[in-house]
Every structure is written in structure tokens, then in C-alpha cells.
Amino acid sequence: MKKITLIILVLGSIGLGNLFAQGCMEPASDEGVSVIGFIQPEYQMIEKSDGWTNSFAFRRARIGVTGNVPYDFSYYAIVDFSKFMPDAPFLLDAFVSYNRFSFARITLGQYKPPFSQELSTACHKLHTIQRSKVVNELALPNRDQGLMVWGSLASNVINYNVAVMNGYRRGFFDENNNKDIVGRVVVQPWDVFRFGGSFRKGITGSQSDNTKTRFAGEMQIDWKGFLLQAEYIWGKDTGSYTTGGGCDGTPIEIHEGPITRSGMYAMLLYMTPWNLQPVVKFESYNGDLSQDNNLETAVTGGINYFFNDWTRLQINYSYRAEQANEVRNDWVLVQMQVSF
């Protein structure tokens, strides 16, 4: 029991190797191909204007391969087969990395942009079933094509990622000849505490005046079974901009700007000796800082239960409120996950 709990604590705090690498999973060994993946069937209750709806669904169903190639190269490719995603099945990640130098590794392909603490968290290691709204709105796209340099400095005290990316969507050519610059730096001076920030600068669409700018600040405290995470994201767009999307958001919609948006989340968890992990999360998001009474908030409470290293049950209830125009949009989610 102690061994299982220790392993779960390590997974729950998000190991630094996985957090700053591009892939959600690592090869099982240094030789041969490793088959990787996870499935997430769930039961959903969603509040609508005319009452509650409910359904069984699949949030994600992913399978892929990863491995190492002599010498100093690795590869990673994974496909999502969930028909509840708009365009499934689709190629989610596919990239090659050169790992000779731990202080400056190089990755080329399609992967998560190095922006935001929560976006960088693997989908099968999220502490709540859904990501925060501010991440789904301002950390887009959730997958992109590009070249990245990343690594660790000062005995892993400093971890960084810097990428040159299309700035559009997975599986598409760039809309323009400009490239987005995306980066993230995290400093961990002690085992129990880390802090950092992210940035993104680029052009959206084919018009040169459709610029986007993003900044984010993050922190984490992991102490004696308690885990506290918080993040703030600010974004400014000129010309057209998008809403929705992300791993869990609605399909992307295009609007006309300019606009400035921001939001945050704070989340507290505690791992009990019985492999039960209660979680409470507070979110706030302002979709237009120029408008008064425009704040959206959400409080999510839940429980995570770990059957073993590969199997997890999550139960979440989210109460959501809108300052300007209250709508009925609370939800209850129950998700079972098996990874391999």
C-alpha cells in the first residue's frame, strides 16, 4: 500500500521529465517499440436551459507508439479514436527528438505548444476531468507544428522550452509566412515549490494585423500529500480572434477584435492514505476586459480514486456562474480511466 501511494503521489505531482517533454508517456525501455495509450469512458450530466441531460460517452481513446533510436534519437506518435471528438480519428502527436544534450534537446513535428502549466499536463494526469476555461480559451492551439529547443539547467532547477511554430492548428499548413514564438520557463529551487511563466507571440490568420499576445504565470506547492496549483493567463488580440477549442472546449469560432481577455484557476488536492484524493478548484475568466460585470466563475469539487498505477476513477461536480447573464450550465462527470 505504501509503495502504491508513493507512486501515485509522484504521478499526481507531475514528474518534471514528463512535464517539460512533449509526449504524455515515456518508452517502457531503451530498446524496441513501446505501445502506449489510455481510454476514458465517462458518464455525463449537463444542465441546460430546459433541464438536465445525461449520456455515456468517451472523452478520449488514444493509442500510439514511442521509442528510442540509436543514437540519441526518440520518436512519438499517437492517434485519438474517440468518435465524440469532432474530427476523430486524427493524428494528435507525431514528432522526433534529438536528446544528446540534456540542456538543449531538439524536437521537430506536431506536439503541444510549450505554454501554460495546465495545458502542459498530460490529459491522463489531469486532476480534474476538464481543463480550466481560461486554458481552453487562451492557450490555443492545443496542438501545433514546429521546432522546439528544451532542456534543464543548474541541476534541473531551471527547465525551459522555446519553440517556433505555425500558430494555427494540428494537421494544417501555416496560414501566413510568419511564425509564432512560444516559450515556458519553470524554476524549482526546492522539491516542494516551483514557479514559472509562459509567453506566446504571433499572427492569427492571413492578415498581418491579426496579432495575438499571451502571458501566463504559474506556481505549485507539493507538501506532505497536499498539492496546490495556480495559474493566471492574460491575452490580447488585434483583428480577428478565436473562442472555444482546447482539449475539452467547443469547436473554434472566429470573431472580430480587438479584445483583451484574462483568467485564472487555483486548485487544492490532498492524497489520503487510502488512495482517495479529494480536489477543489476555483476558476475565474473574463472574456472581454473592456466590459463591466463580465466575469465568469466556476467551483469544481470532486474525488479521485486510484485502484492501481494504471486505473483511476474521477467524480466531479462543477457549479458555474456568469456575472452578466446567468445561464444553466452546471455539470456532473464520472470518468473511468485505464492507461497502458
**Whose grid coordinates read 492514505?**
273
User: What confidence tens digit (pLDDT) does each residue in 271-299 have?
Assistant: 999 999 999 999 999 999 999 999 999 99
- Grid cell locating 147: 521546432
Say if residues 16 and 161 touch (Cβ distance below 8 Å): no
Any bridge partners for residue 307, and if so which?
none
Backbone conformation region of residue 109, classed left if phi is above 0, alpha if psi is from -120 to 50, else beta:
left
pLDDT the model gives residue 272: 98
- The domain spans of the chain are 2-339
Say if residues 303 and 127 touch (Cβ distance below 8 Å): no
d(CA 299, CA 206): 38
Which residue stretches of the chain have pLDDT < 50? 1-15, 17
d(CA 15, CA 31): 22
- Residue range 2-339 in CATH 3.90.1150.10: no
Question: What is the value of pTM for the model shown?
Answer: 0.91
User: What confidence tens digit (pLDDT) does each residue in 181-207 have?
Assistant: 999 999 999 999 999 999 999 987 766
Compute the half-sphere exposure of residue 223: CA atoms within 13 Å on the CB side of its CA.
8
- Grid cell locating 311: 486505473
Mind giving me the DSSP string for 195-260?
A: EEEEEEEEE-SS-TT-EEEEEEEEEEEEETTEEEEEEEEEEEE-SEEEES-TTTSPPPEEEE--EE
Mean pLDDT rounded to a whole number for the chain: 90
d(CA 126, CA 231): 14
- Grid cell locating 32: 524496441
Residues listed for the chain:
340
Q: Which residue, 220, 221, 222, 202, is CA-closest to 212?
A: 202
Distances (CA, A) of 205 to 137, 256, 257, 277: 17, 12, 13, 43
pLDDT the model gives residue 11: 38
pLDDT the model gives residue 312: 98
d(CA 133, CA 318): 12
pLDDT the model gives residue 117: 97
Say if residues 275 and 245 touch (Cβ distance below 8 Å): no
Q: What are phi and psi of 220, to 5 degrees?
A: -150, 135
What's the 3-state SS for 86-118? CCCCEEEEEEEEECCCCCCEEEEEEECCCCCHH
Q: Are strands 295-306 and 90-98 parallel, antiparallel or unpaired?
A: unpaired
- Grid cell locating 115: 505554454
pLDDT the model gives residue 331: 97
pLDDT the model gives residue 22: 66
Q: What are phi and psi of 238, to 5 degrees?
A: -115, 150
- Grid cell locating 15: 514528474
**Whose grid coordinates read 484557476?**
265
Q: What are phi and psi of 104, to 5 degrees?
A: -160, 80
